[in-house]
Structure 1
């Protein structure tokens, strides 16, 4: 049974999560006839954007490309706030912590300073003085960015959805894309269970579901199950307004977290590790494995002991990891009118506003002002040696 909506568009966006919804908005506001298709009903709990909030930092470990991308994203988040009429970005400050023998923040601070990002390098004593909630050993160092903070991710996606639809985009929810085909390197067919849609251009932001679109595309990404938890805090030192967002590098793993916002508890998650997941397999809820809570609690007990109280709630989400954990933003290897955006590797949300704009630029003009060269599809041996994609 058909949907009753138009079958022909200038652009079809497959996957309307953070990147896809942003791209749909940036296309629609320029008058481009756009169809967004999502397997669920965004914002939702099946991708990488749920379980607010998400950190936004500008002094980034990936060098100047990421810093410039973060700066552009910040401007666009503020623009979205103004258009949506609600607060989306909170400048709590972000403190990056790690043992000095494991991580040096010096180069990151220099890169940031060259591009006008303010940071402070702090020793353990200064960190404990400013934020008594941290129990950091003497060999730890910190990089603090006062103008960084966090984004209310689900509200951001909802705001882009509202504005995209207001600008004329069409959104098809709870609809799985079964297949994509291109004829003559120019015209695309996107098939769902009930219909086929046509477009001059396609943007694929399928997240953890890229593997369902084989053999049309082979994205070198794997999906892993990740867990986050919100824990009761013992005192006001962890509350929003006085406590920063943070990243925590340790010999046992890397963690990130947020202050206690409105009594919801301090949120903490682990960036590395995780159990691989494939579409079609059961996705286990938080708590199925005792380590879902145990791993997070051990980090809190060691470094934020006053925030290691009762678990208030937990959530499981999906990371889609590229081999080097840098993004993939590039044209399909055979079809220049199909853009691929994936491998955001658990640190992409903060950039979604700028990535969506860049995808719109690349679709309309085949170029963008941002330097995206380091996100090439072809940088991996796996992609360079592939000859079995569908043509």
Structure 2
């Protein structure tokens, strides 16, 4: 490839990157997206759909703000693409108060006028008879929350980005990034490509870009499974998405969509993984099925049937599980977006918009201080 010049190059065209590419190109920026694979693909964090979208969030207010904006943008993408991307199934957040407090979510909901219902264990079981909870468990139900078809979302943003004028370079592993007085140079196997700004959203692959940037991101191998379920209790017309915080771990899941079985995954734990290492297939470890099956057997026994399908994806944990969205500590023309820690997909439509703001305007109206590199004791750098 001959040397080319762009306003912005996006390195990593998965969930966040593809969204950013669309928002950049739709504003008239000369945009190039580069990915090591051909998105949507199964080498990152967006495959194995669906993904939950919730608005009642604990932590900083920025999460609820972004979740609400993301929902608007997913609706806009649906309209533009003609694809069904979001299902408002409702989401029931359940947990033991000792390990999974719902107070932050309830307070945040009030501040942002998010519609919720606060339910005790008995009320949850009456509404969804497939759920069996200890009597001290509590729940917070969001009727306007639901789930996203993540691979469709990435494919839809890809189509819209290209239609808006973005270019996409697939199956291209970046060798090196360097910033100089003329902008930023991205070294690929086919040559050097230059841009005024670069957004790096490399997911679990950030380590391949060291020493240009070293971030406190820990990639881990995660598994999810789909289990044969009593359809009258768990099909998508009667059962919501869910989160479940227990004394033995945190879980999330979805109704049986089209008879595929209840999908469940575990948020905590996971096997460490590094780029270049083999990603062992589902079933390689006893806990791949064992952890999630035990949760179903305990809390949703009629959804703990035969394993119908298993899948492996990746999380990218930061130490505090908050995101990293910031400028490179030494290179002001390089933006970093990473560490989305297994709960980031729902936000990707709004994160892409935010990254376009930062790249084109140099600022954003949103308070993203929570995502700053400065929160770590020693800011990661070269």
TM-score normalized with structure 1 length? 0.96
* 8 Å CA contact 2:231, 2:256 repeated in 1: no
Does 2:339 match 1:343?
Answer: yes
Counterparts of 2:213 and 2:287 in 1: how far apart (Å)? 35
Counterparts of 1:48 and 1:358 in 2: how far apart (Å)? 20
* Displacement after TM superposition at 1:368 (Å): 1.1
Q: Which residue of 1 aligns with 2:318?
A: 322
Counterparts of 2:97 and 2:278 in 1: how far apart (Å)? 40
Q: Which residue of 2 aligns with 1:56?
A: 53
Aligned partner of residue 319 in structure 1, secondary structure:
strand
* Displacement after TM superposition at 1:27 (Å): 0.3
* 8 Å CA contact 2:59, 2:104 repeated in 1: no
Q: Mean Cα displacement is larger for which, 323-332 or 368-377?
A: 368-377
Counterparts of 2:378 and 2:189 in 1: how far apart (Å)? 31
Counterparts of 2:135 and 2:283 in 1: how far apart (Å)? 34
* Displacement after TM superposition at 1:193 (Å): 1.4
Write the mapping of 1:265-304 to structure 2, written as runs, cut at 5 A: 265-304=261-300
* 8 Å CA contact 1:230, 1:268 repeated in 2: yes
Does 2:151 match 1:178?
Answer: no
Write the mapping of 1:110-121 to structure 2, written as runs, cut at 5 A: 110-121=107-118
Which residue of 79, 96, 99 maps to 2:96?
A: 99
* 8 Å CA contact 2:8, 2:29 repeated in 1: yes
Which residue of 125, 129, 140 maps to 1:128?
A: 125
Q: Which residue of 1 aligns with 2:207?
A: 211
Q: Which residue of 1 aligns with 2:355?
A: 359
* Displacement after TM superposition at 1:233 (Å): 0.4
* Displacement after TM superposition at 1:382 (Å): 3.5
* Displacement after TM superposition at 1:194 (Å): 1.9
Structure 1, unpaired ranges of 5+: none
Aligned partner of residue 175 in structure 2, secondary structure:
strand
Which residue of 152, 156, 169 maps to 1:155?
A: 152
TM-score normalized with structure 2 length? 0.98
* Displacement after TM superposition at 1:234 (Å): 2.3
Does 2:330 match 1:331?
Answer: no
Q: Over residues 332-382 of structure 1, what are the superposed CA-to-partner deviations in whole Å (9 max), with x where a residue is unaligned?
A: 001111000000000000000000000000000011122111100111113
* Displacement after TM superposition at 1:87 (Å): 1.2
* 8 Å CA contact 2:208, 2:275 repeated in 1: yes
Counterparts of 1:215 and 1:123 in 2: how far apart (Å)? 51
Counterparts of 1:57 and 1:98 in 2: how far apart (Å)? 16
Q: Over residues 16-51 of structure 1, what are the superposed CA-to-partner deviations in whole Å (9 max), with x where a residue is unaligned?
A: 000000000000011100000000000000000000
Which residue of 5, 18, 23 maps to 1:21?
A: 18
Counterparts of 2:60 and 2:122 in 1: how far apart (Å)? 28
Q: Mean Cα displacement is larger for which, 232-241 or 42-51?
A: 232-241
Counterparts of 2:316 and 2:78 in 1: how far apart (Å)? 27
Which residue of 136, 140, 143 maps to 1:139?
A: 136
* 8 Å CA contact 2:60, 2:370 repeated in 1: no
* 8 Å CA contact 2:100, 2:246 repeated in 1: no
Aligned partner of residue 241 in structure 1, secondary structure:
coil
Structure 2, unpaired ranges of 5+: none
* Displacement after TM superposition at 1:104 (Å): 2.6
* CA-atom RMSD in angstroms: 1.0
Count of matched residue pairs: 382
Write the mapping of 1:232-311 to structure 2, written as runs, cut at 5 A: 232-311=228-307
* Displacement after TM superposition at 1:101 (Å): 2.2
Aligned partner of residue 203 in structure 1, secondary structure:
strand
Does 2:194 match 1:198?
Answer: yes
* Displacement after TM superposition at 1:102 (Å): 2.1
Counterparts of 2:51 and 2:259 in 1: how far apart (Å)? 17
* 8 Å CA contact 1:8, 1:198 repeated in 2: yes
* 8 Å CA contact 1:228, 1:269 repeated in 2: yes
* Displacement after TM superposition at 1:110 (Å): 1.8
Q: Over residues 281-332 of structure 1, what are the superposed CA-to-partner deviations in whole Å (9 max), with x where a residue is unaligned?
A: 1110111112101111000000010000010100010001111000000000
Aligned partner of residue 381 in structure 1, secondary structure:
coil
